[in-house]
Amino acid sequence: MRACYNGAMHRLKPLFTAMLILATLLPKASAFAQSGIRLNLSDPMIDSFPQVSVFVQVRDETGKPLDDFPASGLSLLEDNQVAPDLTVDPVQVGTRLVYALNTSPALRIRDTLGRSRYELILNALLNWWALPEYAPLGVDDLSLITAEGIQVEHTQASAEIASVLANLKPSFESEGDFELLFRALDLTNAPAPISGMPSYIFFITPLLRPSLTIPLESIIARAQASQTTIIPILVGPPEIMGQAEVDAFQRLAVETGGSLLLFESSQGLQNLAQDLIAQRTQYQLTYRSPATTSGPHEITVRLSLNDVEAEAPSRSYILELLAPEVTLLNLPGEILRSSDDPALPLEKMAPASQAVEFAVQFPDGYPRPVIQAQLLDNGEIVDQRLQPPFSPLTWDLRNQLDDATHELQVTLLDSLGLQANSPAAEIGIRVELPPRGLAALRPALSSLLLALGVLLAGVALAAILLTTGRRTVPATPSSTATQQAAQPTAVSRMRRGLPDEPIEAYLYPLEGDPDSPGTIYLTGMEINIGRDPNFAAVPLDDPSVDGLHARIIRHVDGSYFLRDQGSKAGTWVHYKPLPETGQKLAHGDIVHFGRSAYRFAFVDAPPQKEIRRTPLDEPIESSKDNVS
């Protein structure tokens, strides 16, 4: 047997030329017949919809990649609409290469030099993988399958697959058939590790008869579904190319975008390896899809190069668009609007607004921009945003002055025009209006009436005394002295304005005592402190005191709570400004209303503990004796 199996190859060139012309005329070919240029289009990538990407291969009539054409020559149409914002970028994606080696008995045949067909194929593959371009890791995805089974699966190192093949000891017992090719397609059936990575199967085999168990149509259909290019490499003498069995291999190549080769030991597989290096770089076309509806959408890519035009077979993707889902977050069930300041305008009662937060999800898996958000109160728009941030929206409560139940809802519009409504949420608003007019003075009315009653009683008593003095004889010195001793007590009692209710505590002048004039008595009722008698139960004649300066509130536990009412000079406890939230008063506290100083005290003052020191040389008394 001759060392070169393809010595008569020159006699078959007219046949290959005819086959090539026939291949360009087949319906599955991806080009216009007059151009000879073929375009292969990958499946669309819609993970980032509405941004869509596809990869395109551009080859000449011999199957070699074209890379010397301007990117502007490519155009893309989706549903017959030209993508106006198309970007074209060359991207290195690598290749997925599956070597299906049919180790049948025919590969043991030796040439005149004693070399078996298997040894020649082995050397050609090892030389292929030894090329510097195949040395880098992580560029290609490589697999090897033989008649004995899968030897290497999805390695990224050419050295690994070369080592396995170099140490392989085939049995050469199985005749092999197209079932090996069918199993090789399992290695390209899964999505490629990198989007746009082209897949190739090199079916290295002696000439086979058509399979009776696996129809050729099934193999072609699987290859087309996974976009796998099949390149049959026949091993044998040149005469086999004229046999009828070659038609099946030719059909495999043409209908999957590949080419049929006859192995020549003198040339090896170097040319094929070099051609595949160029296939690592694909053109990525990216654009914004105009699709706004669910269903199938068709993509077509065209190439215009001088007077030559080519068009790739259309690819489709199925889109399922769903409206966004909106969820309201952290809304209270009830909002209380209140104020204890009668001078505060009603619309300024707290809170004046409520933040309405919400979350947006896209159940179709395609996040996209929101272009409008609206807040509805009982169906009426109360807030709207056309620019981010959209959350939170603001619910204005200034006009909510009555108790009512409101139904809140958020509606959104996304960039595709799909609208979403959140579930309605019921929120109750309860309004506690501040006291107005006489109601504002109600806490001080009892004290005012008491003071007025004491004053009237004093006037009446004075009139009686004057009248009695005119009608009676002059009193004796002793009786006059008695009357003079009694009168100060009555007068001082009127000045203090002692209330009828039991006194629990008092605020007496800092330089005086509880019996001093100007003492403020606390009988368990809320009392206003200020300079204006229309608001204050006990008016203070001090220009540093506001009309309504402070308020003293009694709690259920018997304690008294002091709160400033926005005074200018402030309210102070122990020479420290009163906190905005107020402060609980303790027995003995020094309180300033502006410059007016008082001491707070309970009538029943809590006992004070007395601590006595005991010398070390004296016996220690019991705690009952030490603390009183």
Strand pairing category for 199-205 and 571-573: unpaired
Q: Which residues of the chain have pLDDT under 50?
A: 1-34, 437-438, 470-496, 620, 622-628
Sign of CA dihedral 449, 455, 461, 464: negative
Nearest partner of 280 among 55, 75, 69, judged by Cα: 55
Residues counted in the chain: 628
| CATH 3.40.50.410 domain range(s) in the chain | 94-279
What's the confidence (pLDDT) of residue 25?
33
Q: Which residues pair with 112 in a beta bridge?
A: none
Phi-psi region of 346 (alpha: psi -120 to 50; beta: other; left: phi over 0): alpha
Nearest partner of 205 among 182, 180, 228, judged by Cα: 180
Strand pairing category for 334-338 and 380-385: unpaired
**CA–CA separation, 110 and 121 (whole Å):** 12
Half-sphere CA count of 611, side-chain side, radius 13 A:
0
Cβ distance 594 to 542 under 8 Å? Answer: yes
Helix H or strand E segment including 625: helix 623-626
User: Which DSSP state fits 611?
Assistant: B
Peptide bond before 579: cis, by omega within 30 degrees of 0? no
What's the confidence (pLDDT) of residue 135?
80
User: Which DSSP state fits 26?
Assistant: S
Structure tokens at 413: 């519009």
Structure tokens at 253: 């190549």
Cβ distance 452 to 533 under 8 Å? Answer: no
What's the confidence (pLDDT) of residue 193?
84
Nearest partner of 443 among 559, 548, 320, judged by Cα: 548
Cβ distance 30 to 256 under 8 Å? Answer: no
Place domain 31-90+283-320 in its CATH homologous superfamily.
Answer: Immunoglobulins (2.60.40.10)
278 in helix, strand or coil? helix
What number of other Cβ atoms are within 10 A of residue 176's Cβ?
Answer: 22
- For the sheet with 538-539, list strands across it: 538-539, 527-530, 550-554, 560-564, 583-584
DSSP sequence for 69-121:
S-GGGEEEEETTEE-TT-EEEEEE---EEEEEE---GGGG-B-TTS-BHHHHH
DSSP sequence for 7-18:
TTGGGGHHHHHH
First to last CA, the chain: 128
Output the CA–CA distances (angstroms, integers) from residue 508 to 297, 519, 540, 550, 627, in the order listed: 88, 4, 12, 16, 30
3-state secondary structure 430-448: EEECCCCCHHHHHHHHHHH
Domain at 450-461+488-602: CATH code: 2.60.200.20
Cα 471 off chain centre by: 97
Please tell us whether the domain made up of 325-432 is placed in CATH 2.60.40.10: yes
Structure tokens at 242: 């004229």
Domain at 94-279: CATH code: 3.40.50.410
Output the CA–CA distances (angstroms, integers) from residue 302 to 30, 343, 380, 503, in the order listed: 10, 76, 51, 99
What number of other Cβ atoms are within 10 A of residue 190's Cβ?
Answer: 10
| Helix then strand then coil, % of the chain, to nearest 5 | 25, 30, 45
Half-sphere CA count of 408, side-chain side, radius 13 A:
28
| CATH 2.60.40.10 domain range(s) in the chain | 31-90+283-320, 325-432
DSSP sequence for 545-560:
S-SS-EEEEE-TTS-E
473 in helix, strand or coil? coil
**Torsions phi, psi for 437 (to 5 deg):** 60, -130
Structure tokens at 583: 């402060």
What's the confidence (pLDDT) of residue 133?
86
What number of other Cβ atoms are within 10 A of residue 447's Cβ?
Answer: 22
Output the CA–CA distances (angstroms, integers) from residue 213 to 173, 289, 506, in the order listed: 19, 44, 109
Cβ distance 149 to 176 under 8 Å? Answer: no
**CA–CA separation, 118 and 115 (whole Å):** 8
Cβ distance 145 to 78 under 8 Å? Answer: no
Structure tokens at 355: 């933040």
Give the residue carrying structure tokens 């086959």.
Answer: 19
* Reported pTM: 0.55
